[in-house]
A and B are shown apart, each in its own frame.
Chain A
Amino acid sequence: GAGVSQTPSNKVTEKGKYVELRCDPISGHTALYWYRQSLGQGPEFLIYFQGTGAADDSGLPNDRFFAVRPEGSVSTLKIQRTERGDSAVYLCASSKSADSYNEQFFGPGTRLTVL
């Protein structure tokens, strides 16, 4: 069965550019999460979707970051006016529902490099 997939696997961009990162969750999973993992650190929560709505976006660092999930499946993380500090691996995860006992399945991540 297909796991969580993320595209692109690598993205190199220049400072100030706009980027979109895509996540395809496991079919049937209603909860979707975005995390950011900087080099040598553990993942940090960015945003969580239950269905189509962003139920908790408290982890987004500033208003340059935005995410959507219009049909309750695929999600896109959008970063405007990228900065060098945005360089990190962006991980997406999905689970059957948002419950602390439901396993979150992670994708391989998108490695973003801002030059």
Chain B
Amino acid sequence: TQLLEQSPQFLSIQEGENLTVYCNSSSVFSSLQWYRQEPGEGPVLLVTVVTGGEVKKLKRLTFQFGDARKDSSLHITAAQPGDTGLYLCAGPNNAGNMLTFGGGTRLMVKP
């Protein structure tokens, strides 16, 4: 069974601060995805990382896939209140027909 563990579970910071969220597993994944979910809505895909060591940037968000493809991180620079939400990492099973999600990191950015 592939498991994904996210840390921290909760993060409350002031606007303008930087933060990093981690997603770890003992299993190798062909790819990892990061989602953001707001209350009352479904998760929305932010990025997919595929290659070990890959770094992708999405405005103030930087995503990294570990060299061994067992872990990933999300770094947010100069966080804004609009970044508030639940951040989820997810990886596909070998058949690619389901996603295993981490427990999520609930981020609150205070103005």
A40 to B45 CA separation, bound complex (whole angstroms): 19
| Chain B residues within 8 Å of A88, by CB | none
* Per-residue A-contact encoding for B43-83, CB less than 8 Å = 1, 0 else: 11100101000000000000000000000000000000000
A40, A42, A59, A108: the one within 8 Å of B98 (CB): A59
Q: How many residues of A contact B (CB 8 A)?
A: 28
A8 to B42 CA separation, bound complex (whole angstroms): 14
Which residues of A from 97 to 112 have beta carbons under 8 Å from B?
98-104, 106-109
- Shortest CB-to-CB span from B10 to chain A, Å, is 10
A100, B103: Cβ atoms under 8 Å? Answer: no
A102 to B42 CA separation, bound complex (whole angstroms): 17
- Shortest CB-to-CB span from B68 to chain A, Å, is 18
Give the contact stretch, choosing among A43-51, A61-69, A70-78.
A43-51
- Shortest CB-to-CB span from B49 to chain A, Å, is 12
B97, A56: Cβ atoms under 8 Å? Answer: yes
B43, B50, B97, B103: the one within 8 Å of A50 (CB): B97
| Chain A residues within 8 Å of B41, by CB | 108-109
* Per-residue B-contact encoding for A19-53, CB less than 8 Å = 1, 0 else: 00000000000010101000011111100101000
Interface size class of B (residues with CB under 8 A): 20 to 34
Asked whether any CB of chain B lies closer than 8 Å to the CB of A79, the reply is no
Query: In this complex, which of A4, A43, A55, A98 has the most chain B Cβ atoms within 10 angstroms of its Cβ?
Result: A43
Closest B-chain residue to A4, C-beta based?
A: B42
B40, B97, B103: the one within 8 Å of A55 (CB): B97
Task: List 5 tightest A-B contacts by C-beta distance, closest first.
Answer: A106-B42, A42-B101, A100-B96, A100-B92, A98-B97
A→B interface (CB under 8 Å):
4, 31, 33, 35, 40-45, 48, 50, 55-56, 59, 91, 93, 98-104, 106-109
Enumerate 16 A-B pairs (CB-CB under 8 Å) in ascending A order. Answer: A40-B104, A40-B106, A42-B102, A42-B103, A43-B43, A45-B99, A48-B98, A56-B97, A56-B98, A98-B95, A99-B96, A101-B31, A101-B50, A106-B43, A108-B41, A108-B42
